[in-house]
Amino acid sequence: MVCWVAERARAARNVDRVIVATDSQQIVDAVAASGIEAMLTSPDHTSGTDRVAEVAATIPDAEIIVNVQGDEPLISPATIERAVEAMTFEISKNGAGIVTTWEPIESHDDLLNPDLVKVVVDEDENAVYFSRSPIPYPRDAVKRHGSPESALQNEPDLLRLFRKHTGLYVYRRDVLLEFTKWPQSELEKIEALEQLRALAHGVKIKVVAACTASTGVDTVEDLEKVRALIESSIYGHKEAQTAQRT
């Protein structure tokens, strides 16, 4: 799965170098055998962002650092490209320090799934908050129907209010390295979401729409779903060939 993620990152046209950052020698050996660069990092990091920062510190010429999480094997190279382009624009106007992506939430079960992180944005598409809970709270609809569950069942269009956060981050290198110096925030500890540390320290996070849907792998059931998708015509041999050619 990690190799698949790395190949999709390689297929992004505006990504110059792909490195797998891990504290597992087994993963280093596996990706190296596939011809992918890897770096062994400290086992003491509290988040994936801290791990990526350790590697970024060794690449002083990289102004933009992309973090594609290893549990996102179906992330589109076009989505990565869009996020990098957004960061390039943000740098040009001294804007956001982090860019991330969102996708629509398509089912009631996904909305209530705590492994699927939700994001709320402001009018300028900057993140206000990330949560494992369904946010924002549709107060008037709940008053009409008695509970959030009933509101969603009776008004399925309410799903359009919610956004799924995708496991992709693009950082300005200076912001990423500064991030590692900050202690975990209380909200980060409560929700187990590292991006809340950045918000707590005033970092603006731009949230752009993903080009296509993806499926993160948090459970065995997710893994089986992804395997089925990869074997299908949606994410099958054609996409693998595209990644290899790029």
Per-domain boundaries in the chain = 2-245
User: pLDDT class for 99, splitting at 50, 70, 90?
Assistant: very high
More confident residue, 146 or 167: 146
Q: Quote the crossing angle between the two packed helices 237-245 and 2-10, to the nearest 10°.
A: 60
Q: Say whether pLDDT at 62 is over 60.
A: yes
pLDDT at 240: 41
CATH number for 2-245 (one of 3.40.50.170, 3.40.1180.10, 3.20.20.70, 3.90.550.10): it is: 3.90.550.10
Q: Say whether pLDDT at 38 is over 60.
A: yes
User: pLDDT class for 233, splitting at 50, 70, 90?
Assistant: low
pLDDT at 234: 55
Give the mean model confidence (pLDDT) for residues 221-246. 62
Q: Say whether pLDDT at 45 is over 80.
A: yes
> What pLDDT, in 10s, does the model give residues 154-168?
999 999 999 999 989
Greatest extent of the chain over all pairs of C-alpha atoms, in Å: 58
Q: Say whether pLDDT at 239 is over 50.
A: no
Q: Say whether pLDDT at 124 is over 70.
A: yes
> What pLDDT, in 10s, does the model give residues 170-199?
999 999 999 989 998 999 999 999 999 999
Q: Say whether pLDDT at 54 is over 60.
A: yes
> What pLDDT, in 10s, does the model give residues 68-94?
988 888 889 999 999 999 999 999 999
> Which uninterrupted H or E stretch holds 225?
helix 220-231
**Helices (H), strands (E): how many in the chain?**
12, 8
- Rounded CA-CA distance 160/117 in Å is 15
Contact 140, 146 (CB under 8 A): no
Instruction: State the chain's mean pLDDT as an integer.
Output: 90
Q: Say whether pLDDT at 139 is over 50.
A: yes
Q: Say whether pLDDT at 29 is over 90.
A: yes
CA-angle at 95, arms to 186 and 163, nearest 5°? 60
Q: What is the pTM of this model?
A: 0.87
Tell me the CA distances in angstroms from 190 to 11, 68, 129, one per residue in order.
36, 23, 13
Q: Say whether pLDDT at 13 is over 90.
A: yes
